[in-house]
Amino acid sequence: MDNQKRNLLLFTVIFAIGGLAYSFLVPSFETTEFDPDVVEDISKGITTTSTTSEVNNDEDPQETIDNIEDVEEPIEIVDKSTAEELIKFTVANTSLENFTTYLIIGSDKRTSNSSASRGYVEGQRADVIILGIINEENSDQYLLSIPRDLLIKNICTQTIERINSTYSDNNCGNSAENLAANVQILTGLTINHFASFNFEGFENIIDSFGGIEVCVDKTQREGFSFELQKGCQNVEGSTALNWIVSRNTEVLVGEKLVDKDGNDISEWEKMEGVSDLSRNDRQQYIILQLLDKIKDFRSLGELSTFINTLEDAFIIDENLSLNKAVNILWNYRDSDLSNISRLSIPVNPYELDDGRQVLIISENFTKYAESKGLKNS
């Protein structure tokens, strides 16, 4: 098998397993229809594709991990020129060719049993959007984070909304196809495959490794959901999950203090810079930590058994197979993961008229990609 094919298979497994580190697992392994031709049709404005599941237009696909039970109101920007200015960079200037891509979707659909469910709400949206990219000519590998709060014009509905809300079924295609079409328009990259996960089972994956190492430069917490000490520590799945989804992280001011009854009387302040982007950083950090754990497997059989347990935990498109890549992953378990370039969509924060915060892409992705070496030869 040539090196290029090996790298493609390795990359498939890396992103499928890596997605487990910050994406969110479903109860049983499934494959589902994902047609790149349908994605291409949606990108071209063709909206006649029927979906495989019934669409409930009354159910808002968005929910938060916080204690919120209301649904998000549609985004309305009355001034047309303002709207055009906000989304002017959301269509790539150039179609990037000779790349293979894997769209990793972390859905925040979950049940009330999840540790991160601080208030149970119905529905789902894409809480994590990661695009794995391989250059077919030189096997360069990229990990592109797309912030969930990025404002775009939905190619299917022609409405302005956050990109995470495009993860829904409608008359254009299924949820993965719709999100993929909008990512394709944004980046100029054809989306070839996808894998989808949700919160359920995330803790078990981390716990199956005996926990995972997390290093922070300041002691930090969010309420009673987690507390991390300055430095490095091994954490269980529930702590890792709550850390990567936290929006209200606090940091310790000064020394840790307790009263005579053992109650915490320390001074805490809200951590600056906690946002959709910092969550992306945490998620990428967990990916690399989880992938590093793969090096601990002592035999091909042990690794194969573990991969098979993961098959009960996510949905992939019907053209992907993890089992085919187990041997390749074993051969490459000592690979230097630092060679995977970590990228993020360039954005600026923006406050809507109603006070809601979104992110606006600050330059065309084609220009940004070229600066990172991601371009046509």
All structural domains of the chain, each given as residue ranges with its CATH number in brackets, are: 3-203+279-371 (3.30.420.590), 205-274 (no CATH)
Total residue length of the chain: 377
- Burial of 45 per CB tally in 10 Å (0-12, 13-18, 19+): exposed
Percent of the chain with pLDDT over 70: 70
Lowest-pLDDT choice from 58-62, 276-280, 312-316: 58-62
Spatial separation of the C-alpha atoms in residues 86 and 274, rounded to whole Å: 23
Residue type, 17: I
Quote the CA–CA distance of 130 and 279 in Å, as a whole number: 12
Lowest mean pLDDT among 88-97, 138-147, 201-210, 230-239: 201-210
- Mode of pairing for the β-strands spanning 126-135 and 99-107: antiparallel
Q: What is the pTM of this model?
A: 0.75
What's the pLDDT score for residue 305?
74
Q: 138 or 31: which carries more pLDDT confidence?
A: 138
Residue 14 has pLDDT above 80, yes or no: no
- Span 151-174, average pLDDT: 89
Helix (H), strand (E), coil (C) string for the chain:
CCHHHHHHHHHHHHHHHHHHHHCCCCCCCEEECCCHHHHHHHHCCCCCCCCCCCCCCCCCCCCCCCCCCCCCCCCCCCCHHHHHHHCCCCCCCCCECCEEEEEEEEECCCCCCCCCCCCCCCCCCEEEEEEEEEECCCCCEEEEECCCCEEEECCCCCCEEEHHHHCCCECCECHHHHHHHHHHHHHCECCCEEEEECCCCHHHHHHHCCCEEEEECCCEEECCCEEECCEEEEECHHHHHHHHHCCCCEEEECCCCECCCCCECCEEEECCCCCHHHHHHHHHHHHHHHHHHHHHCCCHHHHHHHHHHHCCCCEEECCCCCHHHHHHHHHCCCCCHHHCEEEECCEEEEECCCCCEEEEECCCHHHHHHHCCCCCC
Per-residue pLDDT band for 361 (boundaries 50, 70, 90) equals very high
Q: Would you state the structure tokens that stand for residue 359, as one six-digit string?
A: 């992110």
User: Which has the higher per-residue pLDDT, 214 or 70?
Assistant: 214
Residue predicted with more confidence, 57 or 80: 80
| Contact between 77 and 360 (Cβ < 8 Å) | no
d(CA 324, CA 13): 9
